[in-house]
Chains A and B, each alone.
Chain A
Amino acid sequence: AQSVTQPDIHITVSEGASLELRCNYSYGATPYLFWYVQSPGQGLQLLLKYFSGDTLVQGIKGFEAEFKRSQSSFNLRKPSVHWSDAAEYFCAVGPPVGGGGNKLTFGTGTQLKVEL
């Protein structure tokens, strides 16, 4: 069965510092990969996605993620964090091409705190 692991439950960084949130997955084939962000009391907003092609993908708000097949990882990065980035971040996987619908399996999330 597919699974997603986000090993860091909480991360605190200083504003302006770089950020890396880890995500590892277990799946039978290369899945679709996603990062979503959830601000308190809000819904899930898509930050970026990987379907195929270039393994470094750019997203909104200055975020990027790199797919590493050999490590089954899809880590999220940002070179300089802003106070408004404080939120919960979820990594998710979905079935690959031809899988029909796009049922997602989510990780447990990483809560990001930004210190001013």
Chain B
Amino acid sequence: EPEVTQTPSHQVTQMGQEVILRCVPISNHLYFYWYRQILGQKVEFLVSFYNNEISEKSEIFDDQFSVERPDGSNFTLKIRSTKLEDSAMYFCASTRMNTEAFFGQGTRLTVV
């Protein structure tokens, strides 16, 4: 069964450093998403991406965040200068049109 894969599974970074979280969505999917889940809290939408551009973003997704689909398979989330409060589990998801979202296993980001 096709699945969304995320790497790395866990990343520790120092405050102020840049991190790139990587995702390989399901190959015939059209919409790509990043969500995050701060420990003990609910899953929150960050950004959606369609047709090589951002289609929607939340207020969390400020100028420190960017997304890119550098080739036909990868979908990345970059945090330019990490803060302590960026520590969370980050989930990538993908969908076709009007179908359920398939989520990756997540990347646990720890900012120290």
Question: What's the minimum C-beta distance from A67 to chain B, rounded to whole angstroms?
Answer: 15
> Is B110's beta carbon under 8 Å from chain A?
no
A58 to chain B, nearest CB (A): 14
Q: If the complex has contacts A43-B106, A49-B100, A100-B55, are A105 and B45 also in contact, measured as CB distance less than 8 A?
A: yes
B101–A104 touching, CB < 8 Å = yes
A-B contact count (CB 8 A): 64
Judged by DSSP, the binding face of A is: loop
Q: Which residues of B69-112 are within 8 A (CB) of A?
A: 91, 93, 95, 97-106
| Closest CB in chain A relative to B36 CB, distance in Å | 11
From A34, A90, A101, A105, B100 is in contact (CB under 8 Å) with: A34
Is the pair A103, B45 in contact by a Cβ cutoff of 8 Å? yes
Name the B residues within 8 Å of A101 (CB-CB).
31, 33, 48, 50, 55-56, 95
With A43-B105, A109-B42 in contact, is A102–B91 under 8 Å at CB? no
